[in-house]
Amino acid sequence: MSWTLRYVAHLGFRSPEAPLFPASAGSSDPLAQIDFAASIGFAEIQDPWFTTRPPAVQTAIASRVRERGLATGCVVCGAPADIRTRLWTRTDAPGRRSLEDKLDVAMEAARQLGARQIVALTGADESSSREAQIERFIANLSRAASRVADEGLVLCLEPTNARTLPGMLLNHFEEGCDIARAVGRPSLRMIYDTAHIQSMDGDLLGNFERAFDLIEIVQIANHPGRAEPEIGEANLATVIEKIHECGYGGLVELEHVWSKGGLEAEQRGLDWLRRIDTSLASAKLRAGK
């Protein structure tokens, strides 16, 4: 089918072994996942930990993405073991070299995949004041934003839920926006993740409207548990309606797990998404747009 928004299926945001549609695709193999995403009309896939896959698998994924005519969502700068470290807040020479090396790897992965966005995640440093950490973070982001801009790429900040991902520097959406505005470069933007924002801040619609000029990627998952959009405390149908109403044309990454796995759950989730997306198309026709 043809979709109104640019939905993205992940190949494993918590682990490369846990993609979004294992039952529907008949396998957790990333190539089967790509084929299934293409078969349902999705235009993009997301492989955030692409850089951690074996080189032969990276080559196969990049080739299949091109064969299927798909685009790709964000990749993370660094491996899972790096994101709770002081990766982005060190200013000593070894720390800067480490960050530059990991950014080089992420930029090469983006080139190989045809991706545009690189996610910057960093841990907190209990030995330094928060003010000092933010100052160093801004300095490193400014340098990195200049580098990625030369490649036509975008760095993305993602404040995360302190309850399930403790030890991270950014936990609130507004503070991430403040940092992005302090850097003041168009190549540094925000990820609007509904599960993280609902957990830490609430006011999903207000946060989206206030930061609309900064939002590069929307990630959809409910709270608690990062479950499928239709299961949880947040009304994510209204969020999807709001982002469409505001004219958002970027990626809508389905970055959730299933509350109960299996083919029935996956198909129910797709049916829900089709109903919501069809209502967006109908509203657009009624408005004469």
| 243: CATH | 3.20.20.150
Evaluate whether residue 1 is within a structural domain.
Answer: no
Q: What is the pTM of this model?
A: 0.95
Q: Binning pLDDT at 50, 70 and 90, where does residue 283 land?
A: low
Which carries the bigger pLDDT value, residue 287 or residue 231?
Answer: 231
Task: Give the pLDDT confidence of 171-205 residue by residue, as tens digits.
Answer: 999 999 999 999 999 999 999 999 999 999 999 99
Range of the domain at 187: 6-286
Angstrom distance (rounded) from CA 264 to CA 23: 9
Task: Give the pLDDT confidence of 47-72 residue by residue, as tens digits.
Answer: 999 999 999 999 999 999 999 999 99
Task: Give the pLDDT confidence of 3-49 residue by residue, as tens digits.
Answer: 999 999 999 999 999 999 999 999 999 999 999 999 999 989 999 99
Three-state SS sequence of the chain: CCCCCEEEEECCCCCCCCCCCHHHHCCCCHHHHHHHHHHCCCCEEECCCHHHCCHHHHHHHHHHHHHCCCEECCEECCCCCCCCCCCCCCCCHHHHHHHHHHHHHHHHHHHHHCCCEEEECCECCCCCCHHHHHHHHHHHHHHHHHHHHHCCCEEEECCCCCCCCCCECCCCHHHHHHHHHHHCCCCEEEEEEHHHHHHHCCCHHHHHHHCHHHEEEEEECCCCCCCCCCCCCCCHHHHHHHHHHCCCCCEEEECCCCCCCCHHHHHHHHHHHHHHHHHHHHHHHHCCC
**Number of domains observed in the structure of the chain:** 1
Of 140, 19, 55, the residue nearest 63 (C-alpha): 55
Q: Binning pLDDT at 50, 70 and 90, where does residue 288 land?
A: low
Evaluate whether residue 209 is within a structural domain.
Answer: yes
Evaluate whether residue 118 is within a structural domain.
Answer: yes
Task: Give the pLDDT confidence of 121-175 residue by residue, as tens digits.
Answer: 999 998 999 999 999 999 999 999 999 999 999 999 999 999 999 999 999 999 9
Q: What percent of the chain has pLDDT over 70?
A: 97
Evaluate whether residue 254 is within a structural domain.
Answer: yes
